[in-house]
Chains A and B, each alone.
Chain A
Amino acid sequence: MMVENPQVVDEAQIIAAIVRGETHLFHDLIRPHERSVYVMVLSLLKNEAEAEDAAQEAFLKAFRNLSKFRAESKFSTWLISIALNEARSKLRQKKAMKTESLDAGPEEDGHVSPAILRDWREVPSEALERKEVRQMIQLAVADLPGIYREIFLLRDVEELSVNESAEALGISLASVKVRLHRARIMLQKTLAPQLKQVNPKRRWFPWL
């Protein structure tokens, strides 16, 4: 990942302008981050309506607190940590209901093993045109224990760097690497055998 990129510089200028009073620019500032904020809160809340509400609240909080944003962190990282806090406080609010503990799952010093395969036949992205394949993957990610799901989404779906992920989650770089490794192996263990069964004889382009 690049350390410097023009987007970051532009972002700093837009933020400065918003803080000076050009508040309408906030709409443009957040457009590139809508999906990542939603995906992260959804991963905690597991309910689309609640996730949408939490995402809106997070963006509003970011707007109200923008003058407190410090340029040493990236805007996306700052925004995601606000969103995660928002989702966590929503989770605490409905504690009476059965909710999953974020710390559930194997300890970090435990061992995870992959699914053993002798060969792997590449599953092309075209397979994602099929709803059952998309659902298989969504379910596998949703079933990851919370601490592994959030690091996986930040790094491998939203493509934050190791440093940014550590900052957004308030954990060490070493924890990021260990959790990410475990998340990836857990996904391989669940998904590789399932994906291998995805109708291997069927053409990916049935119309050809």
Chain B
Amino acid sequence: MVIDCKHVWDYISGYLDDSLAPETKESVQRHLEHCEICSAILDSTRNILILTADDRIFELPVGFSERLHARLAQEIDGSSREPDED
């Protein structure tokens, strides 16, 4: 099966997840071997996914955990224990 660029673009996500049917994957691979445009699109998409998944992109606000656990503690054992006070 020979596929053109526009079809390859439809398979980029599936190709990155390795969830394509074997024959589709092979067609995509064969296309990528000789198509610099589709290779660049695939590489850039993969690169962007790696960057967005980096912990530095989505961070918890400073003190989030402390405030959350303090509120949970009130709920969990607020009635059975005196709150810690300085």
Chain A residues in contact with chain B, CB under 8 A?
A: 23-24, 26-27, 30-31, 34-35, 38-39, 42, 48, 52, 55-56, 59-60, 63-64, 113-120, 122-123, 125, 127-129, 134, 137-138, 141, 152-153, 156-157, 159, 162, 177, 180-181, 184-185, 187-188, 191-192, 195
Give the distance in Å from the alpha carbon of A116 to the alpha carbon of B36 in the complex.
10
B54 & A125 in contact (Cβ 8 Å cutoff): yes
Known: A34-B60, A48-B61. A120 touches B47 (CB 8 A): yes
Specify the main secondary structure of chain B where it touches its partner: helix
Contact of B2 with A by CB under 8 A: no
Known: A59-B72, A114-B45. A138 touches B57 (CB 8 A): yes
Contact of B16 with A by CB under 8 A: yes
| Count of inter-chain pairs, beta carbons less than 8 A | 139
Enumerate 20 A-B pairs (CB-CB under 8 Å) in ascending A order.
Answer: A24-B76, A27-B76, A31-B65, A34-B65, A34-B68, A52-B64, A59-B68, A64-B75, A113-B6, A118-B40, A120-B39, A120-B40, A123-B47, A128-B54, A137-B48, A162-B19, A177-B14, A187-B52, A192-B44, A195-B51
Complex partner residue of B68 from A48, A56, A64, A162, CB under 8 angstroms: A56
Contact of B12 with A by CB under 8 A: yes
**Size bracket of the B interface:** 35 or more
Known: A128-B54, A156-B53, A157-B53. A55 touches B37 (CB 8 A): no
